[in-house]
A and B are shown apart, each in its own frame.
Chain A
Amino acid sequence: MHPRKYLATLLCAVFFTLCSAQGFAQTATLSGTVTVSSGQPVAGASVMLKPGNRATMTDEKGNYTLANIPFGDYVLVVTSLEIQPIETPVALNRARQRRNLVATENDATQLDEATVSRSTEKREIETQGFAVAVVETKEASVRNIQTNELLDRTVGVRVRQSGGLGSEIEYNLNGMTGRSVGIFIDGIEISTYGSSFNLNNIPPAMIDRIEVYKGVLPAHLSGDLLGGAINIVLKKGNAANSMTAAVSYGSFNTLQADLSGQYRNPKSGFTAKVSGFYTSTDNDYEQWGKFSKYIEPNGVVTRNFRTKRFFDGYRTLGGRAELGFTDVNWADVALLGYNISDSYNEIQHGQTMGTPYMGRTAEAQAHVLSLNYSKRNLFTNGLSLNVNGVYSQRNTYVQDTIPWAYNWDGSIRMDLNGNPVRRPDGAQQGDPAMADIDRHITNIRTNLAYEVFAGHRLSLNHVFYTIDREDSDLLNPMGPDALKSTNGLSKNVFSFNYEAQTFKGRLRTNAFAKIYQQSVQSLTYKGSVINGQAVITENRIEDSRSNTGYGLAVSYSITPKTVLITSAERAVRMPHDNEIFGNPDQNVLASPAIQPEVSDNYNAGLRLGTFRFNQHGLDVSGNVFWRNVKDRIMPQTNELISQQEIEQTQYINLGLSQSLGFEGEITYRYKDDLTAMVNFSKFNSLFKQEFDPETGQRMTYYNKQIPNEPFFTVNGNIHYRFRNAIQRASELNLFYTLGYVHPFRTVWPESDWFVTPAQYLQNVGASYRFPNRKLIVSVDLKNILNAEIYDNFGVQKPGRAMYLKLTYTINNFQ
């Protein structure tokens, strides 16, 4: 569809939403109980009204209440692992109505409420109109699976990790990557927590779910991000009392352990939640791809050199404690949290495998204090407040002092005379470094929402971010008062949104506007000698700017099982400090007039299901997206070399790029036993500059795929559950996953060498839950065919590997 026409359609949708808002004001409250024929209450069952997908769960006594439902005809759907699903029509035409339901018991033993509640939540989020994939962590948390592996299997997500567990990661959402993709923890930018608490080490057991928003971002995830965001929602402290401990060991000496416990006193509402994790690995996996080289003293190269990585270890330790009150009359959540984390990472190489490093390490530590307060119906009905304030003190230390060049066999390279070869700049990656960086970050997110009348909600979201950074180089110590050039940054993002549910909840609209305000400061000192006298002059430049973005997300339930989802946003990416001020050290000129990058993002999708035929269930979803980035900020090199041949660069707004793609997912279920899923993502990231501005000639690569991006991926998985397989009341789960990445070029021209070949990654796994339901044992065999797997830049990933994990859980202690 033509973008303008598309926008017009969306505007019409808003118009109708606003008009229809006047149409009704009468609402009902539906309540009742769910029991089995014996009269036993069904606790934790999901109760949902369709259309509109308003949902709740039954309490311990089987009671449920759904308030503020617009009058109309609905279908009430009750599901639980314990019972056969119930679907019954209900007509709401009075303010208070009761409906008690009697369900048929399933022969399955006990229920697993968490799964039900999450799948409801997953669907709830996925049908809000945004192009969002919700990743569930429940199953992964008892298996030997990293959070990043889960993400990598998610439709439209590519995780680029330069090596094994712990190494640097970049996320690619349908072709957008780098700074255009934001990562959040509970809506707070992950950088606030430092690199010692990130997706490399947060165990899936600590995570409730991961939301992956592609392109269009809801108002509560505010950032100048063009490509989308990944929001990690950590487990909240208001679930049942439980304790879980897990330990996993496997290939490459990888040991992982995590421990978590939560307690809530039902009378006082006092809540305590503690969790901790530990990971250590050598990552000494074998590699043999074409970038694995052995170099002789005379420079002669042997490729496909089979060797083990020798300096890629990773170790991390962290803990998180939250104390406070939940579900009390003055707060839904009031938690004070403390998060501590520490990591040590050996860096085996840079972005590519070209040069192995020895002795380059990065250490990170972070102390993070957080305060989370949320309350619905604050002061008045319909007003809710959510504040998440985080103060973080984080430290990063990078050490790189070994001067020798290494070979991929782990030995120092020798020159023709038998002397060790030195790295060109004196250390592995560049100049010798013992860089110590302290950052103090304050990040406060506030959300105030008001339900004007049922189904219509206005909200205001504000994010304040400030960072104070101190660098010191231990190799070149300076006093605390030493003069240094510094840059500073603070930003505010205000967003407003208006959510509405109309046409009996079938149409949901979410219109939002975001105001980005950024101030950057640069302070440099210049020294000069005038008449033999040293004079220091201070040069302070400030730059404040603001910009506006806006968007709309719409979902429409054509039938309860057919939901149309569509969204559009004008997103902006503010220029960086060095793009505005330049950087004299690197011959980058200032560019005060630089404008933000702007991207128009559109998504449209369809979500079908669950269709049930007897015991079979089928879900299908598809999404088309279109992105148009304008005014891309790019460095422009001054090619006209002056007398002293200094090449200078200036950042300018130039260039267009466009992504058009589609993704789809099919899930098939048989009873509760078999689940098979296939998803794929294919996109074209196209070079869109059509003409050379100087000559007016048509560009050779106009409309061609931008290199270095895996643009077609397929993931599939099959999961089979055997009940009572070995012992009565036990549960055996078998898993198979397949990942495929289509070959892609790494340079513009056609060249056999610069192509990353097709990749097939196959994993199998099994988990066994003992009848006491406390202990789960799981085994995972990854990359079973020992295939060559690469990231975008030719870094080889681990071959065949095996892991064993034990998880022990105690539920419902008092």
Chain B
Amino acid sequence: MNNNQMKHAFFGAAVVAITIVGCAKENGPDTDTPGEADRWITISGSMMDEKPGDGNAGTMVYSVTPEQAKDPSVSINVFDKGMHVKSQRTARLQASVDGKFLYNIQYTGDDGGIFHKYTVHGGKDFRRDGAEVATADYVSSSPRWLKALEGVGIAVRGTANDTKYTGELPNITHQYTSTKIDAITLDLNDPKITKTTSFELRLSEVEEAAGYHIWRIDMPVVNKAKDKVYIGAGVRKLDPTSYTIGDDGVPEFDSDNDAPAAWAKTIVLDYPSLENPKVITSSQTRGSTNGYRSTMQYVGDDGHVYQATIGEGIEGGGSKILRISKDTDDYDNNYVFSLDQALGVTGSHIEAWKYAGNGIGIVVYSLVNGDGNRVGGHIARIDLNNGTGTKYSIPNEADLKFNQIQSIGIDGDDAYVAVAPVGQDGNIYIFDIQTGEMSVGAKLINKTGNQYIGVY
């Protein structure tokens, strides 16, 4: 190769190199330099993917001091200023009671089911702490989980097995549908899995024959004595006399939405062994106890567990709060709190609630309309001991949607709720647990299709 040729070869290489160098990545400077605080209030928001309000593009978090959270002149913009919590879809966040730690299990995606712990340092400063823990092989890449006890997480998964039947098509007889239950306990202090279990769950013969089965479970909470874990359940019913033959030649029994829903049920396991599964059934309401994304059951000061139900609709008299007795670990069927009755509304649906001590609760709810759809967003203070409640008046109640809400924050006597319609600005609202007084806190800056979903 002579010099001239070499020159041309290098010229070619140089063109490649220049093109590459010309596109270096830019990083904006980090302007938020938070100070120190004893308590951080963390606000979370979910981002839309392609459809406004779907919450499928991930979760952002940002933390402020309680003073800032209460100050209406402060503006909080988690979407532009916050940190993206690792999760392909909406992260399922929990926090320690002192607000110093944030816990997340990624929901779906390549790292779905991976647990992370963060320490909270104000602003967008959240630092990874401890090991990453993979839970997917025990409880799927979209586990349902809660901080079931301070320092302990429980993640669960319930899936309906294929319906059993006898005979050959078309002369087949429906038998039953059982449920595969998986559960694990997590050490939140030194992140790792500490216990796993997996078993097949059956209902009573009568219920099974009618087509009832548990199809989803969620909301694991450990009782006061720390010897049982209660797991909320959703029950579905199939029509044993009607089915569709799939493309694999297997009959799939059709859903039966007209029949009465099952009485509310809860799965009880021993803690910490996760053994001896038992299903307890309430006689007080036909509803689900597995909620959606927000904690539905709490251990009260009296040692009983108070559990909210959903799905009753107008006909079923709206959401209830049931009691699981500390003495029997079974439903106390002498007790029921009806939100409809307490507030004088019809078709209430509890989206989130928080037990705030002394039988007082803060409830975020919607109302089911004549078409069976949940509309609006409202907040009330309830008294579980005497069955009463008072609704607060907040702006935009008709436009609010709390269906993705994950957490109501509590610090001292203050309960914090993030209130903003999808895609619109809103505020943090603070409810004094003792006096019942409501005050308007920091402004929440929103973006199209996004939602504020939690305060921790």
Q: Would A747 and B57 count as touching, CB distance under 8 A?
A: yes
**Does A101 sit within 8 A of B, measured CB to CB?**
no
Known A-B contacts A482-B249, A678-B12, A692-B448; the reply to A527 vs B423 at CB < 8 A is no
CA distance A318 to B89 in the complex (A): 43
Q: Would B19 and A714 count as touching, CB distance under 8 A?
A: yes
Q: What residue of chain B has the Cβ atom nearest to residue A484's Cβ?
A: B249
**Does B23 sit within 8 A of A, measured CB to CB?**
yes
Residues of B in contact, count (CB < 8 Å): 95
- A-B pairs with beta carbons under 8 A, tally: 243
Interface string of B359-373 (1 = CB under 8 A from A): 000000000000011
Interface residues of A in 603-634 (CB under 8 A from B): 616, 634
Q: What residue of chain A has the Cβ atom nearest to residue B257's Cβ?
A: A644
Q: Would B242 and A743 count as touching, CB distance under 8 A?
A: no
CA distance A21 to B141 in the complex (A): 65
**Does A646 sit within 8 A of B, measured CB to CB?**
yes
CA distance A718 to B14 in the complex (A): 12
CA distance A630 to B243 in the complex (A): 38
When distances are taken between beta carbons in the complex, the residues of chain B under 8 Å from A637 are: 51, 54
Known A-B contacts A484-B249, A678-B19, A716-B12; the reply to A670 vs B5 at CB < 8 A is yes
When distances are taken between beta carbons in the complex, the residues of chain B under 8 Å from A300 are: 131-134, 191-192
CA distance A773 to B53 in the complex (A): 67
Known A-B contacts A484-B245, A698-B448, A749-B47; the reply to A301 vs B132 at CB < 8 A is yes
**Does A107 sit within 8 A of B, measured CB to CB?**
no
Q: What residue of chain A has the Cβ atom nearest to residue B368's Cβ?
A: A643
Q: Would A644 and B50 count as touching, CB distance under 8 A?
A: no
CA distance A483 to B250 in the complex (A): 9
Stretch at the interface among A137-145, A200-208, A351-359, A455-463: A351-359
Known A-B contacts A355-B136, A424-B157; the reply to A534 vs B191 at CB < 8 A is no
Q: Which listed residue (A639, A698, A742, A751) contacts B84, Cβ 8 A?
A: A751
Q: What residue of chain A has the Cβ atom nearest to residue B167's Cβ?
A: A534
- Measured between C-beta atoms, what is the minimum distance from B108 to chain A in Å? 11
Q: What residue of chain B has the Cβ atom nearest to residue A760's Cβ?
A: B20
Interface residues of B in 58-90 (CB under 8 A from A): 58, 60, 79, 84, 86, 88
When distances are taken between beta carbons in the complex, the residues of chain A under 8 Å from B246 are: 484-485, 585
**Does A473 sit within 8 A of B, measured CB to CB?**
yes
When distances are taken between beta carbons in the complex, the residues of chain A under 8 Å from B248 are: 471, 473, 476, 478, 484
**Does B374 sit within 8 A of A, measured CB to CB?**
yes
Q: Would A486 and B288 count as touching, CB distance under 8 A?
A: no
Q: Would A714 and B261 count as touching, CB distance under 8 A?
A: no
**Does A655 sit within 8 A of B, measured CB to CB?**
yes
Interface string of A687-705 (1 = CB under 8 A from B): 1010010110111100000
CA distance A352 to B114 in the complex (A): 15
Q: Would A636 and B16 count as touching, CB distance under 8 A?
A: no
Q: Which listed residue (A478, A674, A692, A712) contacts B449, Cβ 8 A?
A: A692
Q: What residue of chain A has the Cβ atom nearest to residue B133's Cβ?
A: A299
Q: Would B9 and A718 count as touching, CB distance under 8 A?
A: yes
Q: What residue of chain B has the Cβ atom nearest to residue A669's Cβ?
A: B8
**Does A413 sit within 8 A of B, measured CB to CB?**
yes
Q: Would A424 and B5 count as touching, CB distance under 8 A?
A: no
CA distance A291 to B53 in the complex (A): 30
Known A-B contacts A527-B170, A634-B50, A694-B52; the reply to A747 vs B88 at CB < 8 A is yes
Q: What residue of chain B has the Cβ atom nearest to residue A740's Cβ?
A: B20
Q: Would A747 and B58 count as touching, CB distance under 8 A?
A: yes
Q: What residue of chain B has the Cβ atom nearest to residue A675's Cβ?
A: B12
Known A-B contacts A478-B249, A751-B84; the reply to A525 vs B19 at CB < 8 A is no
CA distance A352 to B51 in the complex (A): 25
Chain A CB count within 10 A is highest, among B134, B234, B236, B313, for B134
Known A-B contacts A640-B373, A674-B9; the reply to A738 vs B16 at CB < 8 A is yes
Size class of the contact patch on chain A: 35 or more
Q: Which listed residue (B53, B136, B241) contacts A528, Cβ 8 A?
A: B241
**Does A293 sit within 8 A of B, measured CB to CB?**
yes
CA distance A673 to B110 in the complex (A): 48
Q: What residue of chain B has the Cβ atom nearest to residue A738's Cβ?
A: B16
Chain A CB count within 10 A is highest, among B51, B195, B236, B251, for B51
**Does B92 sit within 8 A of A, measured CB to CB?**
no
Q: What residue of chain B has the Cβ atom nearest to residue A676's Cβ?
A: B12
**Does B15 sit within 8 A of A, measured CB to CB?**
yes
Q: What residue of chain A has the Cβ atom nearest to residue B19's Cβ?
A: A714
Q: What residue of chain B has the Cβ atom nearest to residue A487's Cβ?
A: B247
**Does A118 sit within 8 A of B, measured CB to CB?**
no
Stretch at the interface among A6-14, A264-272, A333-341, A415-423: A415-423
**Does B202 sit within 8 A of A, measured CB to CB?**
no
Q: Would B196 and A415 count as touching, CB distance under 8 A?
A: yes
Q: What residue of chain A has the Cβ atom nearest to residue B261's Cβ?
A: A643
**Does A680 sit within 8 A of B, measured CB to CB?**
yes
- Measured between C-beta atoms, what is the minimum distance from B200 to chain A in Å? 13
Q: What residue of chain B has the Cβ atom nearest to residue A712's Cβ?
A: B23
When distances are taken between beta carbons in the complex, the residues of chain B under 8 Å from A291 are: 110
Q: What residue of chain B has the Cβ atom nearest to residue A695's Cβ?
A: B423
Interface string of A285-302 (1 = CB under 8 A from B): 000000101010111110
**Does B48 sit within 8 A of A, measured CB to CB?**
yes
19 other contacts beyond A526-B245, A529-B242, with CB at 8 A cut-off? A300-B131, A416-B196, A421-B138, A423-B137, A476-B250, A483-B249, A485-B246, A525-B244, A529-B240, A642-B257, A644-B261, A645-B311, A676-B13, A678-B12, A678-B19, A697-B449, A700-B47, A718-B12, A758-B25
Interface set of B (CB-CB < 8 Å, partner A): 1, 5, 8-9, 11-13, 15-16, 19-20, 23, 25, 47-54, 57-58, 60, 79, 84, 86, 88, 109-112, 114-115, 131-141, 157, 169-172, 182, 184, 186, 191-196, 198, 216, 234, 236-237, 240-252, 255, 257, 261, 288, 292, 311, 313, 372-374, 403, 422-424, 447-450
